Structure 1
Amino acid sequence: MNRASSIAMLIIGIILSLIGASLAAGGLAVAVLASDQRDDGYFTSPTERYAVASQALVSPRLETFGEGTAERLPFDVGTLRIRVTAADPADEIFIGLAPQDAVEDYLDGVDRTELRDVDFTPFRPVYRNISGSTTPETPESQEFWAAAASGPGEQEVTWNIAPGNWTVVVMNADASPGISADLQAGFRSELIQPAGTAILIIGLVILAVGVPLLVLGAIGLGRAAHEPRQPTPATGLPPFPASTGQGGAPVLATPAAGLATPATAAEHYPAEHYPAEIIGRLDPGLSRWLWLVKWFLAIPHYFVLFFLWFAFAVTTIVAWFAILFTGHYPRSLFNFNVGVIRWNWRVAFYAYAAAGTDRYPPFTLARADYPADVVVDYPDRLSRGLVLIKSWLLLIPHLLIVAAITGSATWGWQVQRGEYDGTGGLSLLGLLVLIAVVTLLFTGSYPRPLFAFIMGLNRWTTRVLVYGALMRDEYPPFRLDQDTET
């Protein structure tokens, strides 16, 4: 399988898998919700208070079917249920549903309010007032209602949906102005569960086609990325780029194992080194201002990485089963996943996680002549039992630390009546990088000690990612390794 074929299979597989996963998840959710018999199987809106000063609250037009639809359909489309309760228990409230033309004739010249839209999180109704001076007859005296209820306390109407244009009207029973009531709408249909099941089946079929294509494409690219290197004569270890800071001073110790060499980690690393590392060499002549636009320049990479990380998740699941049954991580999938981590690290090192180089990252999974790299020793064998717990249970202490490193410090506020709610902030890593690049802007120099600390944080998160992605059984160390000499 050549590289072009592998790329094509990977792209098609990712697209089909994304579509299939979305359909399957949506179909499953709909089918499960439709099977829920609570509240008589109705999907309901929250109960909220609606208050207007006019004589009638009118819903938007409910166009159930297009023109030309038969008046009687050969199947039950569904049932609409609306409950309304006057804010004052002593008041009598009216609710009715009728053809739109009949409602417009009845309320012609009457001061009324049309409900245009509703936001539920937070609750905020959008009204349009239509002024008038005519006093209508009481709504209960009209004969055009398809469904209606009136009286004190909770009133409920149910209506089997039929073709046409319909409108819901809420009024005081005596047609007086000033309406304040709590409303809830619900809908159920016998078609929802079969539709959800059908969507689920279609999604699973698409997944059954997409996932194998994705995996085959990843295998092909993983094989292409396997480039064994000769050990250096002096040390017998695979060569790796020297790590230098400003002025060429070494700032980073990163013994690099081959991408997928058969030797064990112990043969490549001293005892204090973890068999998965990142490389980052600080450019001595960084531009003072380019960091301001690097995030924008990297947008093409973000787009590609979105799909690559999805493929990474799928291939990791496949690797989970392979390790569970064989004790081995498929070599080609291992190479592919290391390549995804490598690609992501190059972009992160360039744009936001270090801003340590002005060289644009290459579009490749393989190792390249670039100042940022990721190297992971391929394991001869992995524990079949450990794979069951290491990605979640054993990683909990590290995940808490990584959350502190990469999670956002939040700020937020709420305006009265729920008009706005927002959160945002910088992570610890993001804050340190911001301090570094602002210093670069004003001094022309990237602080070397700060760079070492930033690299230590990135190294920690990368080791946790590699362990959680099942690539190694060695537990990640609780250290930054900022200043190890080469």
Structure 2
Amino acid sequence: MRPLNWILLVMGVLITIAGLGLTIGGAVLAGAGAAQSDGQYPVVYEENFQSAGHAILAPPLVFDASDTGSSDLASTGEIASARVQVSSVVSDQDIFIGIADSADIGDYLDGVSHTVLGDLSWQSGQPSSAPPEWFPSSDTGVRQQEIDGTRTPELPADQDFWAVSASGVGTQEITFDLQPGNWTLVVMNTDASRPVWADLQVGARTELLDSGTLAVWIAGLLALLLGIPLLLVGAAGLGRDISLGSSRGSSLGADPAYPQPYDTLRVHPLTFTGHLDGTPSRGLWLIKWLLVIPHYLILGLLWFAQLITTIAAGVAILFTGRYPRSWFAFSVGVLRWQWRVGFYGYAALGTDRYPPFTLAHVDYPATLDVVYPEQLSRGLVLVKWWLLALPHLFIVALLTGNSGSLLGLLILIIAVALLFTGRYLPGLFDLVMGTERWAYRVVTYTLLLRDEYPPFRLDQGPTDPAPTGMEATG
């Protein structure tokens, strides 16, 4: 296969993934922008806090506008603005809330018992040299630090260092525009008494969302417009590199078991085989998960590309009734690669021959192919991959879905038998093949490759059942 097609495919996948990420990010930003419309402050944090001391301190917020190149915006609140609401849990208790420079807070609460939320305790404006042990609050799960002290502080409302503050009965609210400095939020009782028990709610907004959302949307759209065509061209090129076989429309070529194109005599247009390759090693299966990591990485890329090509092919089928041949060959090649890796790995443990890195046909104990359809239903493309396939998808999930499925149990028994006896239980191999054959038939249907509805049965054994009226070969 030509390297250029691989390069186009990989570049297309990576750029498309970036585009999707930016598009999703743009949608999140757009939602956040809508939530803060009309001057609203979307709630970003809400919690109940208690302190046995005289005050509750939030972690210091340090902001240096020069580091972001936003010094001109910092004074206008365009970078960010916060609204903090606090109310005392104790009825009729006046509550105080204020934001001030952390050094001033440290001086004010020096020698005063209080609670710090986060990672710093401030004593005389400096971090404590030997802070007490942190512990999780039983109510909030937030790390809290109790600072001991014996001094009773002066009334907080009488202090003149607050950047913003509010006090009184009921819910108190302050707004604060982000600006350069080292800031700390303080919650106290208005009379500076102890303990403090309050509900805290923080909302935030930024004027940067409007321009930022547009920029992210544009970047995501441009990435998709570039990445998807590259991906589709690369997949088509790889598909053309795979021989589709005979001119009669069969990708099987001269297979002696099926010398004719698919017709109603055939059990299914999917050819799915797997033959035990000697006796697998007793212990190699223990590290196969590690050995197949390179394959899994490539298959992750290929399956993403196959998702995009399937959507594109679905559109083509809807308007033309035909699956583009090059994309068809690519999709079948991905399934072929997947099955070879599964046969080597934990879908069958059927061979110790390392699977090749190719989408094309090779000499390997596990093979897969699908006969190319000359015509597909335009209407079925809208429903067969989800609605009509639901019964099969449910059964396949039970058969192969997880480690507790039938296939997972069979592979576990096979692996243990290999480890202790060195033998592969042949009866179980036939059942494994039947389970995998059912799953791949369903995948063939849901990927829009064929219109024939998969049969509800386990066709066990290493090869497909013989066509009606023909004796099985081999």
TM-score range, shorter chain: 0.7 to 0.9
- What is the deviation of 1:336? 0.7
**Within the alignment, does 1:198 sit opposite 2:215 as a pair?**
yes
Cα offsets for 1:179-227 (capped at 9, x unmatched): 3322221111232133122101101101111111111111111100125
Cα offsets for 1:353-402 (capped at 9, x unmatched): 11111111111111111112221111001111111111111111112112
Q: Counterpart of 2:118 in 1: which secondary structure?
A: strand
**Within the alignment, does 1:270 sit opposite 2:265 as a pair?**
yes
Task: Verify the 8 A CA contact 1:71 1:163 in the aligned structure 2.
Answer: no
Cα offsets for 1:3-30 (capped at 9, x unmatched): 1111111111111111111111111221
Letter of the structure 1 residue corresponding to residue 398 of structure 2? A
Task: Verify the 8 A CA contact 2:75 2:177 in the aligned structure 1.
Answer: no
Aligned to 1:137: 154
Aligned to 1:175: 192
Task: Verify the 8 A CA contact 1:35 1:193 in the aligned structure 2.
Answer: no
Aligned to 1:369: 363
Shift in alpha-carbon separation, 1:346–1:15, aligned structure 2, 3 A: same
- What is the deviation of 1:141? 1.9
Aligned to 1:281: 275
- What is the deviation of 1:70? 5.1
- What is the deviation of 1:469? 0.8
Aligned to 1:11: 10
Task: Verify the 8 A CA contact 2:85 2:200 in the aligned structure 1.
Answer: yes
Give the RMSD, CA atoms, in angstroms: 2.8
User: Which sections of structure 1, spanning at least 5 residues, go unmatched?
Assistant: 241-254, 258-262, 409-424
Task: Verify the 8 A CA contact 2:282 2:422 in the aligned structure 1.
Answer: yes
Work out the CA distance in 2 between the residues paired with 1:123 and 1:315: 48
User: Which sections of structure 2, spanning at least 5 residues, go unmatched?
Assistant: 120-134, 466-471
**Within the alignment, does 1:463 sit opposite 2:437 as a pair?**
no
Q: Counterpart of 1:392 in 2: which secondary structure?
A: helix
Shift in alpha-carbon separation, 1:171–1:432, aligned structure 2, 3 A: farther
Between stretches 99-108 and 176-185, larger displacement belongs to 176-185
Aligned to 2:414: 436
Q: How many residues align?
A: 442
Shift in alpha-carbon separation, 1:441–1:72, aligned structure 2, 3 A: closer
Between stretches 171-180 and 297-306, larger displacement belongs to 171-180
Q: Show structure 1 runs of 4+ deviating over 6 A.
A: none
Aligned to 2:34: 35
Work out the CA distance in 2 between the residues paired with 1:284 and 1:229: 32
- 2:323 pairs with one of 317, 329, 337: 329
Overall identity of the aligned pairs, in %: 47
Shift in alpha-carbon separation, 1:96–1:443, aligned structure 2, 3 A: same
- What is the deviation of 1:404? 1.9
- 1:309 pairs with one of 284, 299, 303: 303
- 2:116 pairs with one of 114, 117, 120: 114
Q: Counterpart of 2:218 in 1: which secondary structure?
A: helix
Letter of the structure 1 residue corresponding to residue 89 of structure 2? A
Please show how residues 45-444 of structure 1 align to structure 2 within 5 Å. Answer: 45-67=44-66, 69=71, 73=75, 76-116=78-118, 124-226=141-243, 228=245, 238-239=254-255, 264-266=261-263, 270-271=265-266, 273-408=267-402, 426-444=404-422
- What is the deviation of 1:298? 0.8
Letter of the structure 2 residue corresponding to residue 173 of structure 1? T
Letter of the structure 2 residue corresponding to residue 47 of structure 1? E
TM value normalised by structure 2: 0.86
